[in-house]
Amino acid sequence: MATKASRSAARLMLAPAVILLLGWMLVPLTMTLIFSFQRYLPLRGGFQGWIGFENYTRFVTSSAFWPSVQATLFIVGGVLLITVMLGILLAILLDQPMWGQGIVRILVIAPFFVMPTVSGLVWKNMFMDPNNGLLSHLWRFFGADPIIWLSDASMASIILIVSWQWLPFATLILLTAIQSLDSEQIEAAEMDGASALSRFWHIILPHLARAITIVILIQTIFLLAIFAEIFVTTQGSFGTRTLTYLIYQRVLESQNVGLGSAGGIYAVILANIFALFLMRIVGKNLDR
Amino acid sequence: MARSVTTQRKTLNTLIAWGIGLLIFFPILWTILTSFKTEAQAIADPPVWFFFDWTLENYRVVQERSNYSRFLWNSVIIAGGSTILGMMVAIPAAWSMAFVPSRRTKDILLWMLSTKMLPAVGVLYPIYLIFIKLGLLDSRFGLTIVLMLINLPIMIWMLYTYFKEIPGEILEAARMDGAGLRQEILYVLTPMAIPGIASTMLLNIILAWNEAFWTLNLTAARAAPLTAFIASYSSPEGLFYAKLSAASTMAIAPILIIGWFSQKQLVRGLTFGAVK
Amino acid sequence: MGRIVLEQVTKSFGDVTVIPPLDLTIEDGEFTVFVGPSGCGKSTLLRLIAGLEDVTSGAIRIDGTDATSIPPAKRGLAMVFQSYALYPHMTVRKNIAFPLRMAGMDKAEQDRRVEQAADVLNLTDYLDRRPGQLSGGQRQRVAIGRAIVREPSAFLFDEPLSNLDAALRVGMRLEISEMHNRLKTTMIYVTHDQVEAMTMADKIVVLHAGRIEQVGSPLELYRAPKNTFVAGFIGSPKMNLITGAAARQHDAHTIGIRPEHMSVSASEGTWSGVVGVSEHLGSDTFFHVHDTGLAETITVRVDGEISFKHGDRIYLTPRADVIHRFDDKGDRLS
């Protein structure tokens, strides 16, 4: 619905964004792809020849690979489970009539705005420290031996920290979705004699289905890439080395760029699987 | 939902919700409280709550010993700069896709979204290498560009959903009224788009301020923003909880305030308009 | 001045042809109404004249100059949109002044023209409000005000009354007609409502699937519709179209008889049927008559005092001089 003149102007205005993003995507990705077929150790002789898919097989056969996949799945799965379930409950709670609703919402959302390094360190030192942390004070208060959180329960600790960061996101989106539910629908269900529980199952939950899917997909993409929380707490030790962290170590710590790049390509493929699902949902939304 | 409930029920809701809200907020509250304590009080068992000697000493020490304001300034430059640069690219792009859509618009939008999904670690070394080659490592400029690029898709998407809500007939009316493209953008589109542009900028500042992969990996002493500064507390010596708290409080305070203002827009931005 | 000529104008969106080659002349000072069902291309045609869409081929001349590739702002036309398209962030005053400001007119002259327009349109008290604080009718007036201050060579209206409620619509219809009488400027008005077309137009252009079915004055269209489409579209209630034996008696494939051109009787007449729904308007009554053997329903319009009940047998007699005859393609037989 426009004239030719405005169409060519539009193309011109779109061009910088497309060129920048195309460059941002293609150039580094191509380089990663090229490195992944090389034996490339910048600190130990640099480029040492083309080795085909050896990096790819080495990456998956190394003893660190499967534990890292496992750690990734645990963290992503655990955080998703906690944030989505608690998020639904919190969203329903915050939708109820109460005094000071706005303030409560602000309190609940706040953790999302805390930078990852701060939340990692605050939890690590001030709460989970076995000597001086608040949680160990609490344990001692009840006469129990404090838990050495980040080594004895490292996975649970990381899941706790990351869930605390992402619960606000899930809650906020699900709350927005609940508020878009037509109150007449709920009233109609009440008139039809549906109990609170069956109203939840048959009306609220189906209404939330799309929002829940979106929360899961977006969080998955971000959670697959969490880095700073691990970087400032366990540094990948005690079974918390995720795929992202493993690749980071291969590339920057041990400077085995070829091997790390092969890992990077795996990560790209993994993220794209989830991205495809997300884009299908978002794309459907565009057609409306 | 405008439904009547008993006062009893409302009281119960209020108590539960406030309880949970405070529990979730507690780590932040505790950090803020601790920042005003002495190091000894910060680790006291049993913990001291409100009745301690409130002191600003930690804030002074953090600033003096580690030159906090320089990191703060880096954060401001990087978050602000990447936002402004990003908007300069994103506004025309979103404008053109919202008002002059073509058959490929949808594909372009989805493709842009897909670049946001690219895992950073997959391109870490190439970017690192490019930065070394171009002398951008540990520079505010380099980091500004990277943060602009990683958030560009979100900016374009968010602006696109806002622009889409501006009725096309108004722009046509402006055209009929004799406005050229420049005047159309200046007098009609921009004033109507300002709320959307403002929310997009706020969200982008939040995202850029808190970004903690590239800021940690591409900076050292010179260009490090607050994320990297805080990370330097991960291997401490001696008593330092109160100082960590003071540094943390200063690092998150601006974003907490901005974030509270833009919580509604956050949903739209982070879900790419799929939830409003 | 405002004589608009369309020569062999076509419009396609991709492979879809919306307007097949079309010729049309709109004389200076004429109130022309484009009317047709939704999707008939009437709005597209208006937007082509406005310059908001490019023509695929053909030429548009305004006052003799080829305007085909002139941008909308330079065509000297003003448009009133269906949604009013007011600038929400500007006051009424600024809205009305906007085209003048774009034309670079000096401030004093702008003010003078805005005040004058506001006076004519009863908007003086609202000049400093924003569109959001106005009612639908007032917004409509602002949109018209924004159009008239430019003193355009022609006004274009795109279904301007469709967002108003029924009572306001009648009032605005009169105001626009009065405005035309006063300004004597060319106006092109798009609507899907044949009542608006009949009451306002000097010339009606009936469009169907992008094609012009007929051009003429309201009464020409009423008296001598060129085909069954126009016959069915113009006039309310709709003309009864009858095929079969009754039509063959008149040497036609289809005959048309308007509801107001039949007389009714309880005892005798040419056709008979059973009364279904009766609509009493006070001045008139419409009977929907079934089981006539002519068509599913025959509508007849009679004086408001005549009364039949649901289920009554009724006899109808058409006035022989106003029976319209159409051939098997639906075209009028003279």
| Token pair of C289 as six digits | 């008559």
User: Is residue C80 predicted with pLDDT exceeding 60?
Assistant: yes
What is the reported pLDDT for A7? 79
3-state secondary structure of B6: coil
Phi and psi torsions of C186, nearest 5°: -60, 135
Contact B192 C99 (CB under 8 A): no
B contact chains, 3+ CB pairs < 8 A: A, C
Beta strands in C63-210 (DSSP E): 65-66, 77-80, 154-158, 186-191, 203-208
Same-domain status, B218 and B265: yes
Distance CA C93, CA C110 (A): 10
Top mean pLDDT of A87-91, B1-5, C102-106 is at A87-91
Among B63-67, C24-28, C39-43, the least confident range: B63-67
Same-domain status, B112 and B128: yes
What is the reported pLDDT for B276? 64
pLDDT bin (cut points 50, 70, 90) of residue A3 is low
pLDDT bin (cut points 50, 70, 90) of residue C260 is very high
Distance CA B233, CA B58 (A): 14
Residue B275 placed within a domain: no
Domain spanning C4-230 has what CATH number?
3.40.50.300
Write down the architecture of domain C237-326 according to CATH.
Beta Barrel (2.40)
| Closest residue, chain A, to B215 (C-alpha) | A228
Q: How far is A10 from chain C (nearest CA, A)?
A: 15
Same-domain status, B49 and B93: no
Q: How many residue pairs bridge chain A and chain B with CB atoms within 8 Å of each other? A: 323
| Token pair of C286 as six digits | 């419409």
Measured between beta carbons, the chain C residues lying within 8 angstroms of B178 are: 73-74, 99, 102-103, 150
Of the residues C74, C96, C98, C188, the best mutation for testing chain B's interface (the one with the most B CB atoms within 10 Å of its CB) is: C98
User: Of B173, B190, B172, which Cα lies nearest the Cα of C145?
Assistant: B173
Contact C53 A4 (CB under 8 A): no
- Say which amino acid occupies C14: G
Contact B24 A111 (CB under 8 A): yes
Tens digits of residue pLDDT in B142-192: 899 999 999 998 889 888 888 888 888 888 899 888 888 788 888 888 888
0.90 surpassed by pTM = no
- Which domain covers residue B33, as residue numbers? 7-59
| Closest residue, chain A, to C13 (C-alpha) | A1
Of all helices (H) and strands (E), which one includes residue C1?
none
Three-class secondary structure assignment of chain A: CCCHHHHHHHHHHHHHHHHHHHHHHHHHHHHHHHHHCEEEECCCCEEEEECCCHHHHHHHHCCCHHHHHHHHHHHHHHHHHHHHHHHHHHHHHHHCCCCCHHHHHHHHHHHHHCCHHHHHHHHHHHHCCCCCCHHHHHHHHCCCCCCCHHHHCHHHHHHHHHHHHHHHHHHHHHHHHHHCCCHHHHHHHHHCCCCHHHHHHHHHHHHHHHHHHHHHHHHHHHHHCCCHHHHCCCCCCCCCCCHHHHHHHHHHHCCCHHHHHHHHHHHHHHHHHHHHHHHHHHHHHHCC
What is the reported pLDDT for B1? 43
Burial (CB count within 10 angstroms: exposed 0-12, middle 13-18, buried 19+), residue C70: middle
What is the reported pLDDT for C186? 94
Q: Which residues contact residue B107 at a Cβ distance below 8 angstroms, ignoring those fewer than 6 apart?
A: none
Same-domain status, B133 and B239: yes
Domain C-terminal end among B15, B30, B59: B59
Residue B166 placed within a domain: yes
Q: Taking residues B44-53, what's their average pLDDT?
A: 76
Sign of CA dihedral C189, C194, C196, C202: positive
Same-domain status, B105 and B18: no
pLDDT bin (cut points 50, 70, 90) of residue A62 is confident
Q: How far is A5 from chain C (nearest CA, A)?
A: 9
User: Is residue C107 predicted with pLDDT exceeding 60?
Assistant: yes
Same-domain status, B117 and B252: yes
B46-82: buried (b, 16+ CB within 10 Å) or exposed (e) per residue?
Answer: ebbeeebeeeebbbebbbeeeebebbbebbbbbbbbb
pLDDT bin (cut points 50, 70, 90) of residue A124 is confident
Contact B117 A275 (CB under 8 A): yes
Q: Taking residues C53-74, what's their average pLDDT?
A: 89
C-alpha distances (whole Å) from A253 to each of A42, A154, A211, A224 are 11, 22, 39, 20
Measured between beta carbons, the chain B residues lying within 8 angstroms of A104 are: 17-18, 21
| Closest residue, chain C, to A2 (C-alpha) | C53
Of all helices (H) and strands (E), which one includes residue B53?
none
Distance CA B252, CA B271 (A): 23
Of all helices (H) and strands (E), which one includes residue C4?
strand C4-13
Q: Taking residues C9-22, what's their average pLDDT?
A: 88
Domain boundaries for CATH 2.40.50.140 within chain C: 237-326
Distance CA B214, CA B147 (A): 8
Same-domain status, B36 and B144: no
Domain boundaries for CATH 3.40.50.300 within chain C: 4-230
| Token pair of C270 as six digits | 């040419």
User: Is residue C157 predicted with pLDDT exceeding 90?
Assistant: yes
Among A84-93, A187-196, B83-92, B142-151, the least confident range: A187-196
3-state secondary structure of B265: helix
Tens digits of residue pLDDT in A21-55: 999 889 999 999 998 888 888 777 778 888 888 88
Say whether residue B170 is in contact with chain C using an 8 A CB cutoff: yes
Q: Taking residues B55-68, what's their average pLDDT?
A: 82
| Token pair of A276 as six digits | 């495809």
Contact C71 A1 (CB under 8 A): no
Contact between residue C164 and residue C137 where contact means Cβ atoms under 8 Å apart: yes
CATH of the domain at B104: 1.10.3720.10
Among A249-258, C138-147, C272-281, the least confident range: A249-258
Same-domain status, B30 and B106: no
Contact B176 C86 (CB under 8 A): no
User: Is residue B115 predicted with pLDDT exceeding 70?
Assistant: yes
User: Is residue C35 predicted with pLDDT exceeding 90?
Assistant: yes
pLDDT bin (cut points 50, 70, 90) of residue C177 is very high
- Give the domains, in start order, of chain A with CATH numbers: 65-240 (1.10.3720.10)
**Number of domains chain B is built from:** 2
Tens digits of residue pLDDT in A163-222: 999 999 899 889 988 888 877 777 787 788 778 888 888 888 888 888 888 888 888 888
Say whether residue B176 is in contact with chain A using an 8 A CB cutoff: no
What is the reported pLDDT for A1? 44
Measured between beta carbons, the chain C residues lying within 8 angstroms of A1 are: 52-53
What ipTM describes this predicted complex?
0.84
Burial (CB count within 10 angstroms: exposed 0-12, middle 13-18, buried 19+), residue B155: buried
Among B88-92, B210-214, B224-228, B269-273, the least confident range: B269-273
What is the reported pLDDT for B239? 58
Distance CA A25, CA B153 (A): 12
